[in-house]
Structure 1
């Protein structure tokens, strides 16, 4: 970087605003770090609650944080609570954010395919929202047809969340259409979703992912514990257990920080894991009496080949040599982390864009299989066991999935290297925002 370029970079100040949820914090923080490494000033902005969760993670020069008040800051976990939380964020939070932006002025994460589907629904020219039926389907050029079961769940008329999330998405699309200078940054890389990105080229979409710690994206050998475990302050108990297992033998199961599984679903997962005869690591949060009851039942059911923990460092676990499969809800962060780690997955989508991500994993990228739920929206143990046998077995389909997983991992690593698509896109972002 020459002197003139450095002067331009130093004049940049990016504000990155995000929801105070773990699935938004991680990629937002990584985007901020990637920008800061290019010599610009970056401020991460969230609510007071969100700031408490991530302030200790800010260690890079040029990176700072700020927060704004939101009256409903702790009222977000229930359905009604989340609705009022979003409404408060739109009114009180937005005003406080404007005050914060003015203060700085005075001083001087979804995937591309889901966004493409949102655009098909809500764009002002040919959006289909308002004239669709429950059997609606969406076609993106060269990709398989997206039926109603593959679409983000809140788009469907019978979704309990559609009443307040659809207006938010409509407004979002209107703002983007009205401002030709706006850009949409997506946590993906061009090679992974090039067709979806092409389908909305008029929306100025820029792929800046995978937004993960660079150590997991540069092809480093993470089996060296002196390197890997230093990245996070975590207990190494489950890593010692993983170290004792053969390569690619362990099932890793986790359903994110927001999904709440029914008791019946947890019981089916438990029986499937135990009856599979394979070692497994299951992340299950303990947050209420039902969870504690489930933990006791599970502890009594374990046969010595399974371990259950309330939390783990997911990117480190997925990068461990013993992991052979990921049973997941298919949230975008988890899906992308599995791709970067080269781990095939069993998709058990619950809501939102998870159904769309599962479609891409199963039918487009070929890195996993989507488990089918019964009429009560429960994925039964026999279905999970069948999927495990496919993904971890010696059949042709399992071998193909594992090969595809390795291929996409290689492409993800190339994207973030100097000269790669994501590397070049970050440079482009800095240039066009100057």
Structure 2
């Protein structure tokens, strides 16, 4: 009996590559063999930003690439374009790649393909070749449960066939889940083209026998009860540094943090996809100035060509803060100088903040970020909402007011530390997620 050999295929965005990389490292630690498939474009990009991929080879990870079908100068922040190109080009190339990988190691052929959302086509290819499949869902289990329940939501007349809520009402998918309004659905804010796409993708993903979730049964018990396929294996926290980063990480911020008093710094980052509108950017900058305390702000280069297109207003001094293009987030959140996290509430950031015991200020942009905010503020009670004014802006005064409120709230701090302890317990040997991961590996054998 050979060891399990996983071919893992993330959709080429940072928020999918990272958790799948962490899962791969966890599987490799259990003696499994991993072949990690990147797009050629992303592989080049990750290697030029710190080139950490080589160090992973020693841990038993092997890297292979396929072209995404786009030209080097194409705009890869246009996700519709990327999706269409991948689906048009990659499926025909995958069988040959699998054949080549298997020819190199006849004893340990690929036993299972693991994909993230948008890469379900690879499960179809695997299915035809008789290879088992699994899915790593990189958002919350709640967003997975919501997508899974789309047919039911349509049948019950809660949404129409385009995913639009039929009337203003709160929906609760199961008794232990937060109530959602239409704007909280994971396809909210993604435009009409994506809803039919999600419906189709969910059908394809059913070829995956397991839907692995980077969560714990303490964090989302109701959502995990929706289907026996959902398997919580989080928090995925393997690598200390991010060897697959698409942008050069500015590590000078760690030295800067060393100079700051304990629990004094406000950390601000909106992840790898969200874009802040110019007016909101200005309010945020002025709000950070008003705090009169140190802040660390990640302002991502726009459109991947490393030009920063944010205009700081003349009134912004920023003398108490440090601004970087991209940063080693896990190390920052674990730093004793950090007081709170102003976040877009993407699931990876949410899990990282929870596992560091850091209170949140929530500023969601799209997709599952709104329901993640409900968990942070209403269910786990480890953060506060930043409210918008009538023009949809979070004003500088609101930022200052909420930071003060949050940092004076000892209950929130205590709950954050308790939730950290509860979450991390799952990943250690004997913890629920750890047992689930072993169950998954045994199935793959």
User: Secondary structure of 2:237's partner?
Assistant: coil
Partner of 1:374: 389
Partner of 2:329: 314
Partner of 1:253: 268
Q: 1:306: Cα distance to partner? A: 1.2
Partner of 1:64: 62
Which of these residues, 57, 78, 82, is aligned with residue 85 of structure 1?
82
8 Å CA contact retained: 2:25, 2:59: no
Q: 1:350: Cα distance to partner? A: 0.5
Distance 1:245 1:160, change over 3 A: closer
Residues of 2 paired with 1:236 and 1:214: CA distance?
16
8 Å CA contact retained: 2:154, 2:160: no
List structure 1 runs of 4+ shifted beyond 6 angstroms: none
Is 1:120 matched up with 2:149?
Answer: yes
Q: Highest relative contact order (Cα 8 Å, sep 6+), 1 or 2?
A: 2
8 Å CA contact retained: 1:25, 1:54: no
Q: 1:129: Cα distance to partner? A: 4.7
Is 1:425 matched up with 2:436?
Answer: yes
Q: 1:235: Cα distance to partner? A: 5.4
Residues of 1 paired with 2:383 and 2:332: CA distance?
18
Q: How many residue pairs are counted as aligned between the two chains?
A: 394
Q: 1:374: Cα distance to partner? A: 2.8
In the TM superposition, what whole-angstrom CA distance separates every residue of 1:356-387 from its partner, at most 9, and x where no partner exists? Answer: 11111111111111212234332111222222
8 Å CA contact retained: 1:330, 1:347: yes
* Structural mapping, 1:94-243, within 5 Å: 94-106=91-103, 107=106, 108=109, 109-122=138-151, 126=155, 129-130=159-160, 132-133=165-166, 135=168, 137-139=170-172, 140-152=174-186, 154-155=187-188, 159=189, 161-163=191-193, 165-177=194-206, 179=207, 182-201=209-228, 204-213=229-238, 236-243=251-258
Task: Select the structure that is richer in helix.
Answer: 1
- In the superposition, the TM-score normalised over structure 1's length comes to 0.83
8 Å CA contact retained: 1:346, 1:388: yes
Residues of 2 paired with 1:381 and 1:94: CA distance?
48
Of 366-375 and 243-252, more deviation after overlay is shown by 366-375
Residues of 1 paired with 2:234 and 2:293: CA distance?
33
Distance 1:135 1:73, change over 3 A: farther
- In the superposition, the TM-score normalised over structure 2's length comes to 0.82
Distance 1:172 1:65, change over 3 A: same
8 Å CA contact retained: 1:416, 1:422: yes
Residues of 2 paired with 1:391 and 1:142: CA distance?
26
- Runs (5+) with no aligned partner, structure 1: 1-7, 217-232
Q: 1:303: Cα distance to partner? A: 5.3
Q: 1:50: Cα distance to partner? A: 2.1
User: Secondary structure of 2:36's partner?
Assistant: strand
